[in-house]
Amino acid sequence: MEEVRKRAEELRSLLNYHNYRYYVLDSPEISDSEYDKLFRELKDLEQKYPELITPDSPTRRVGAPPLKEFGIVRHRLPLLSLDNAFSYEELLAWRKRVVGILKKEEFDLVCELKMDGVAVALIYEGGLLTRGATRGDGWEGEDITQNLRTVRSIPLSVKDGSSFEVRGEVFLPREGFKKLNEEREREGLPGFANPRNAAAGSLRQLDPGVTAHRFLDIYTYALGWSERETPPPDHFSALALLESRGFKINPYNILCSSIEEVEKFHQRWKEERKNLPYETDGIVVKVNRFDFQDALGSTGHEPRWSIAYKFPSKEAVTRLLDIGINVGRTGNLNPYAILEPVSVGGVVIGSAGLHNEDYIRAKDIKIGDRVAVHRAGEVIPEVIGPIVSERRGGEREFAMPQTCPVCGAKVVRLPGEAMHRCTNAACPAQALERVKHFVSRGGMDIEGMGEKLCAHLLREGLIKNASDIYFLSKEDLLNLERMGEKSVQNLLLSVEESKGRPFQKVIFALGIPQVGEETAEILAHEFENMDELALAAPEELSLIPTIGPKVAGEIVSFFRNEGNLKLIQKLKEAKVKLSQEERRITLPLEGKEFVFSGELSFPRKEAEEKVKAQGGRVGSSLTSRTTYLVQGKSPGSKLRRAQEEDITIIDEQEFLRLSG
């Protein structure tokens, strides 16, 4: 029994160590399967001898039963929040106040990244994690111990058996956030607006089993109270102490001796934070020495010895004035947010796509709402969600129109589809989008054919669809407003030039629903010319990898449409190239020369024919052009020479494989 107890202890300490290597240091020493093996061994032992289970056993992270509600924890020392600085001037003003109180010009400052997550306090008693809580109102928080135990980078025990409180920020790395939202989307649940909300939501799960699957992580940033003879003299040493106890400390923390260095740190991370695997919203600056911190004290909710120096916000709040509809190329009704213009990171946003009706419902967006907006991937304007608490009662639910806002035709939503569609193929909005798509960069790339000109030509009746572009005359164009001799000439030149675009570009330009640039390329590869493609049966199309039945169906119905066939006929008349380039077929052994030495199990002549049939050559002696020496039974001197010359030597079997 003593031996079993010792083994269990050994396993626990091994597993805790490897857990630390993996989750805290991010540098594992053993493979996942080796870890799992040790884990299973411990689990089995504990199952057989439950008396061996300790509270810090790595098997005890997950498995606590769900709660009915969270208990309340009163913090021994309040968890303060931070005052903000939004500019270097405000940072300097903060420093001036500090200098005024300390009566000192020189003092060290610690700079840390400001993690965008949820503040928590962890209490260790006699070295064991006994309690974990949210910040709450600063004085009282919620007891989320069971959930925090599932965060793998939080140690369940520390070696020196001390009692103390540590504070930190629990966050969800971008990758985990992405995965979580994808999973929720698959399950038809609304996604979280940002990683912070997702982290908060995950920590407030009553079932710790759910929290355990959320990839949460922590950076600890402060020692709270501590029962220790000599507490560290300053914040930076306190962080080092925490690190030595196995806590995860952000590796980018630095100690600065001047405010200019602080500014440099801020400048650096303002740019580089986008490369971090987690979100940050600023830096936190802290006076290093604890005696200085004490002298500075706090103003109610915020310490005077620290300040959050924020990064320019990439998010803003504005009003959703209305929801507009764009009719797309295939008749899809694309709703978009009409926003009260607002600056986000220096760029004014006035509208943002809203995808479809379900998306608007899932996000609970109402017309008149105050909404949070940002630029997804730092580019595309996106509505994150409404600020529900700011509703005043006058907000309106959005409903898709029953008729097309452009042509008035009936709107339908087909079963299984997210989009509403205008049923009128002749809808002017669709016609414009189709022409725009046809002339776009990825399509026929006709320079000088901007949106305005396309719309103008359609309005004037000079074109009805894209193929008419090829029959425009110089006079037609010269009669248009703002078209001079020179621009007409240039335009006609680019129209002419576009006739020779590669087949795949023409396929893409047609605007077949579901056929993007990639699929167009595949189709161009599979079919000699447009007529062949137009005649392809759905079964034939479905045989092509990456083309599913849905896409196949779209292609077939596109080529069954009378109007589309007419358009293609006109492209043909205009001499637009509707076929593949002449493709020279390369044979597998082209450019390869074989020399034989020794006897094969079949006539040499046969071997030579095989090489020629596959495009290769046969040589009689080794030269610099020889690719392979084929070694048969009792080879001659060629073999030795080939070895000396570093020519690849293959045997009969390998030869047969190469020559098919």
Q: Which of residues 135-154 bind ligand IVH (CB under 6 A)?
A: 135
Q: Which residues contact 150 (CB under 8 A, 6 or more apart)?
A: 61, 62, 208, 211, 212, 216
Nearer to ligand IVH, 253 or 659 (CB): 253
Q: Cα separations (Å) of 89 from 86, 95, 259, 267, 305?
A: 8, 10, 11, 14, 17
Q: Cα separations (Å) of 656 from 273, 585, 592, 659?
A: 56, 22, 15, 5
Nearer to ligand IVH, 301 or 560 (CB): 301
* Interaction between residue 308 and ligand IVH (CB under 6 A): yes
**Least Cβ distance, residue 405 to ligand IVH (angstroms):** 45
From candidates 45, 154, 222, 555, binder to ligand IVH by CB under 6 A: 222
**Least Cβ distance, residue 310 to ligand IVH (angstroms):** 9
* Interaction between residue 234 and ligand IVH (CB under 6 A): no
Q: Which of residues 97-126 bind ligand IVH (CB under 6 A)?
A: 112, 114-115, 119
**Least Cβ distance, residue 390 to ligand IVH (angstroms):** 21
* Interaction between residue 238 and ligand IVH (CB under 6 A): no
* Interaction between residue 306 and ligand IVH (CB under 6 A): yes
**Least Cβ distance, residue 98 to ligand IVH (angstroms):** 14
* Interaction between residue 487 and ligand IVH (CB under 6 A): no
Number of residues that bind ligand IVH (CB under 6 A): 15
Give 284's strand partners: 112, 308
Nearer to ligand IVH, 239 or 371 (CB): 239
* Interaction between residue 82 and ligand IVH (CB under 6 A): yes
* Interaction between residue 284 and ligand IVH (CB under 6 A): yes
Token digits of residue 408: 């008035």
* Interaction between residue 303 and ligand IVH (CB under 6 A): yes
Q: Is 143 helix (H, G, I), strand (E, B) or coil?
A: strand
The CB-nearest residue to ligand IVH is: 119
**Least Cβ distance, residue 371 to ligand IVH (angstroms):** 23
**Least Cβ distance, residue 519 to ligand IVH (angstroms):** 45
- What's the CA dihedral at 259, 263, 265, 267 to 10 degrees? 180
Q: Is 398 helix (H, G, I), strand (E, B) or coil?
A: coil
Q: Which residues contact 175 (CB under 8 A, 6 or more apart)?
A: 215, 277
* Interaction between residue 80 and ligand IVH (CB under 6 A): yes
The C-alpha atoms of residue 17 and residue 47 are separated, in whole angstroms, by 22
Nearer to ligand IVH, 15 or 239 (CB): 239
Q: Do the Cβ atoms of 607 and 600 come closer than 8 Å? A: yes
Q: Do the Cβ atoms of 58 and 19 come closer than 8 Å? A: yes
Nearest Cα to 305, choosing from 320, 325, 324, 285?
Answer: 285
* Interaction between residue 554 and ligand IVH (CB under 6 A): no
From candidates 46, 169, 234, 468, binder to ligand IVH by CB under 6 A: 169
Active site residue 114: yes
Nearer to ligand IVH, 162 or 298 (CB): 298
The C-alpha atoms of residue 428 and residue 462 are separated, in whole angstroms, by 14
From candidates 14, 43, 54, 81, binder to ligand IVH by CB under 6 A: 81
**Least Cβ distance, residue 229 to ligand IVH (angstroms):** 24
Strands 648-651 vs 628-631: parallel, antiparallel or unpaired: parallel
Taken as a whole, the chain contains a residue count of 660
Backbone angles phi, psi at 34, to 5 degrees: -65, -40
Nearest Cα to 366, choosing from 350, 380, 351, 383?
Answer: 383
Q: Which residues contact 144 (CB under 8 A, 6 or more apart)?
A: 70, 120, 132, 133, 134, 203, 204
Nearer to ligand IVH, 41 or 140 (CB): 140
Residue of 114, 286, 577, 592 marked catalytic:
114
Catalytic residue numbers? 114
Contact set with ligand IVH (CB under 6 A): 80-82, 112, 114-115, 119, 135, 169, 221-222, 284, 303, 306, 308
